[in-house]
Amino acid sequence: MCFALEDVSFFGLEHVGCARHLGQTYRALIKNIPERQRPQFHAQPFNLVAQMRKVYFQHLQVELLSATGLKRDLAELILKEHAGVAQRFTEIIVRMCELRNPGNIEMARRLVENISVLDVFNLLREFPRTYFADPELDHTKSVRAALKPVFKGNRFHIAKKRAAVTLLIKEFVRAYYANARLVGDDGFEDVLQRSE
């Protein structure tokens, strides 16, 4: 399952704090280089946080595409030649991870269960085998089963989450099919061996 903190998710943000500190160091270094020497050292303003976000998101796209059984070199090729497909797939997975039930996550004090609405890791582990058993089948039900949705809260929160899950499942199926069509069956690892 994907976990989020009480108010703010750290998923995908670990690098931002590091980039901020590195940015402060970089600016201090540039400040100490005389202006006339800065061109010699290519010392110019640089938005390290923005660059780190870009690089991290590209890395995340490759990792998530690979987690579906896609060979790493083809995941990188999809990112390079079909960036929109990779971006859409990654955004769907991140949105799935962001769905959460009410509750407090204090892993040091007790076991945390049922905070995440969806078991995204189980989906990434199980779905490739299901898909390749019959690629022509409508896999909406098997995606829902692999996600093992857990809905908690009042009836309005539950209804809103159910609608979001239904939409995300449809988007996931379309995005997964798009990836599979781009590379064909040969682009995927031996999914059955990998997931056993």
| pLDDT band at residue 42 under the 50/70/90 scheme | confident
Looking at residue 104, its pLDDT comes to 66
Highest mean pLDDT, choosing among 1-5, 12-16, 20-24: 20-24
Tokens of 37: 């020497």
Smallest CA-to-CA distance from 107 within 117, 115, 98, 118 is with 115
CA 74-56-69 angle, to 5 degrees, is 30
Higher pLDDT: 81 or 169? It is: 169
- Model confidence pLDDT, tens digit, residues 91-146: 999 999 889 888 766 555 554 566 789 999 999 988 888 888 888 899 999 999 99
Does this model's pTM top 0.85? My answer is no
Length of the chain: 196
- Model confidence pLDDT, tens digit, residues 45-91: 888 888 888 888 888 899 988 887 778 888 888 888 888 988 999 99
| pLDDT band at residue 2 under the 50/70/90 scheme | very low
Looking at residue 64, its pLDDT comes to 87
Higher pLDDT: 189 or 116? It is: 116
Side chain identity, residue 118: L
What percent of the residues of the chain are helix, what percent strand, and what percent coil, each to the nearest 5?
A: 65, 0, 35
Looking at residue 171, its pLDDT comes to 96
Looking at residue 191, its pLDDT comes to 44
Cα(95)–Cα(61) distance, rounded to whole angstroms? 13
Residue ranges of the domains in the chain? 82-195
Distances (CA, A) of 111 to 68, 114, 179: 28, 10, 36
Question: Which of 1-5, 38-42, 186-190 has the least mean pLDDT?
Answer: 1-5
| pLDDT band at residue 1 under the 50/70/90 scheme | very low
Looking at residue 51, its pLDDT comes to 85
